[in-house]
Every structure is written in structure tokens, then in C-alpha cells.
Structure 1
């Protein structure tokens, strides 16, 4: 079974509801300009990365792969910092290091012990997996950072702020575990089923991805909040 082709006209039809979303944003005093920019940027980035991946999937250079993942890591740290007050280079370093520790450790486990890739760097596996982990963990860091700043500014002590921020960041991940298979079929699993893969095989892959996202988000968020907590203690002393 082959997937139906999606042409440019079909893409335009898909994007039409975004106009209604933009109207809701505008009428409800949300940032409609940000929505439009984000949508156009998403389309441009995906088209560009499509051409890049065609080239990368033909390459076997581990150095090129590490360079690509480094760019992804820094970009994820930068985007995670967007809703936070502290825009310093030190802060983006904290975020990037947290992403590296959480996502890097889980990605290594999947590559070495789960997929048993040989050679370890195979772009069509490593880059999509790294992207899924970074994107989800990036959101957890943004949520935890924003909640931590809110709690500290409202007078909560550092430890209580850290704990509440961690719980807030993990709510989407826990909700996802409750909902998967009952409310929603995740994107990776749906894509595999549409491409003709057995649902039972797709399920096993999706379990690996869900556990990986949960653990990378928890590890990265815990490391990040510990860094922010220690920083707040240092500022008080």
C-alpha cells in the first residue's frame, strides 16, 4: 500500500482553517501576528528540511550527523527560552546542557540497546528520533522555567518552586500516557500504519518513543530545575 500523494492544492486546502484560527486569535486579543509568522515559518522550515534530509539520508558521516544534531540542540534551547524572562547566554547554556543530558542519554540507549544500529549513525533513524525527543523536552523546559519564575516572583521558596515547576512540566507527558491508544494514535504510529507497517510493530515502536519522551523530559527538566534552584540559592547568599 502506498500513501496518497499530497499536492500543492491539497496543502492550500489544509492551511485554510488557519485563517479562522487567526481570526479567533485577533478577536480574543491573542497574538495573531505570532500565529501567522509561526505557521509560515513552520512551512518554510519543513520544506527546507525536506531537501536537507534527502541529502543527509544518503550520507554516512557521523561528524555531519553530530553537526546537524548540535544545531538542533542549540535551536531547541533557544526556542525553550522564548517565553522566559532570562534571555542571557548563560541561561541558553543551561537549557542546552539540560537537553543534551536528558535527550542525549535516552537517545544513546535507544541507538545502542534497542535498535542496535550498526554503524551507530544512520540518519533516517537518528535524526527523526533526536527531533522527537528535543521537541517534546523543549516544551517541558519552557513550562518548568515559566512556572519556576512565577513561583519565585510570588514569594515561594526555591524548593517549593522547583517541585511545582517540575510537576507542571510533566502534566502534558502524563496526560499523553493516559490518552495514547484510548484518545489518540500518536503521529509516528499513525504514519507507520498509513505506510503499511503492521499495527503490532507500530505499537512497539510507539511504546519506545513514549517512554523515551517521558524519560528525556523528566531528566532534562530535573537537571534544569536543579540548576535554577542552586542559582537562586547562590543569589540569596
Structure 2
């Protein structure tokens, strides 16, 4: 695969400066994009070095620790934009992400038919995809649900609208894949020289996983919300 120099990588910041200018001008927030970008750079560079160590060690306990860390952090991020920031609400989110993520990760392990159940080169990146997608979908569902409840809708009506809203990005991705977009994982594999038909199989697995992890997390969340709040 073609290597990217750090100097050339800086070119990607040019359109970001344009977005930052208008974000600052229109939202009066001059720091959020800058802080987010700096965090992204530090986090990705750190995880790059960490992954080298993880892939070489193949320590299953280290892998379990990283997956648990993903679940805890993604739950904190999901609750960030919600109105209810109570411990009980956080636990509802954590349980939803945990169950949905573990179910889909287990299925992925079965589908890949790996020599060992824990292969960090596969499990860690795929777990990251699952939990990040679950976190985003759940954030959308909760944010929309709380707004619909504030508007005076009943639980069932708010749940219906919120569930459909959180699934829109995933369903749109399924409809657009191959026609509008070549998703990131598939593009990365093709750029690294993998046979496109093999890359397609991996992408099918990812797309179904993305839809189901989003849906299951929202379903579990609303079941918990109904049982313990309403």
C-alpha cells in the first residue's frame, strides 16, 4: 500500500480549516473542532503504537480489558448529549451497548472461523467498529426520544419515532453501498491489494453487523427504559 508522509497528511487539514471558520462564525464555538481534531490525532497515533504491541502479544486478558474499556467509554460518549445523566440511565446505555456488541462480536468470530477464538488483528478493529456504531445509533435514539417526550408524546409514540430515526443512517448505508459509496473497510482492503470479491464478503459481514448492532442496542435500551422508568 502507498505510504502517506506526515507532510502530505497535513494537506487534509486545509478543508478542515474552512469548516472550522464557518463553524466558529455560525455557532460562536471556536474550540470544539480544534480540540476534537487534536484529540483525534493524539488518540490515533497512540492507538497505532498500542496496536503493534497488542497484535504481537496476543494476550486474551489484555484483549478483554480493551473491549471492556471500549464499552465503558462508548457509554460515556453516548450519554454526553442526553438530558438524563443519572447513573441509572448510564447503566441502561452500558447494558444496551454491552449486550448488542457482544452478540454481534460473537457472530463475527463464528463467521470468520478463526484458528483461535481471540485473534487481536481481527477482533480488536471489528469490536471497535461494532461499539462505535452502536454508540452512535443509541445516541441518536436517546436524543430524539427525549425531545419527543418533551413535546408531550406518549412513550410508545416517542419510541417509534426515535427507533426509526436512529436506524436511518444504517439503512441508508445499506441502500447506498456499491452504488454511491465503497465503504471504508472494503476500500482499505482493496487499496492493500486484497481481491475485491474477498473484500466484498467482509463488507457484507460489516454491513449486516452495523444494522443489527444498532437495532439491538436501541431495542434493549427501550425495553430497559419501559421497565424501569415508565
Please state how far the C-alpha of 1:30 moved relative to its aligned partner.
5.7
Aligned to 1:93: 91
Aligned to 1:222: 219
Which of 14, 19, 23 lines up with 1:25 in the alignment? Answer: 23
Measure, in 2, the Cα distance between the counterparts of 1:81 and 1:196: 39
Please state how far the C-alpha of 1:17 moved relative to its aligned partner.
1.5
Paired residues, what number? 230
Which of 74, 77, 80 lines up with 2:75 in the alignment? Answer: 77
- TM-score when scaled to structure 2? 0.97
Aligned to 1:128: 125
Which of 92, 104, 107 lines up with 1:106 in the alignment? Answer: 104
Aligned to 2:12: 14
Please state how far the C-alpha of 1:90 moved relative to its aligned partner.
2.0
SS at match of 1:110: helix
Please state how far the C-alpha of 1:62 moved relative to its aligned partner.
1.1
- The yes-or-no answer on 1:206 pairing with 2:172 is no
Q: CA RMSD in A?
A: 1.1
Aligned to 2:47: 49
Please state how far the C-alpha of 1:138 moved relative to its aligned partner.
0.6
Q: Which runs of 5+ in 2 are unaligned?
A: none
Q: Which runs of 5+ in 1 are unaligned?
A: none
SS at match of 2:171: helix
CA contact (8 A) 1:76 1:135 kept: yes
- The yes-or-no answer on 1:5 pairing with 2:8 is no
Which whole-Å deviations, capped at 9, do the CAs of 1:146-205 have from their partners, x for residues lacking one?
111011111100111111110010000000011111000000000000000011110010
Quickly say closer, same or farther: Cα 1:79–1:13, change in 2 above 3 A. same
Aligned to 1:151: 148
Aligned to 2:164: 167
User: Quick check: 8-17 or 174-183, which moved more?
Assistant: 8-17
SS at match of 2:57: coil
Measure, in 2, the Cα distance between the counterparts of 1:93 and 1:115: 31
4+ residue stretches of structure 1 with deviation over 6 A? none
Please state how far the C-alpha of 1:32 moved relative to its aligned partner.
3.7
CA contact (8 A) 1:177 1:210 kept: yes
Please state how far the C-alpha of 1:95 moved relative to its aligned partner.
1.1
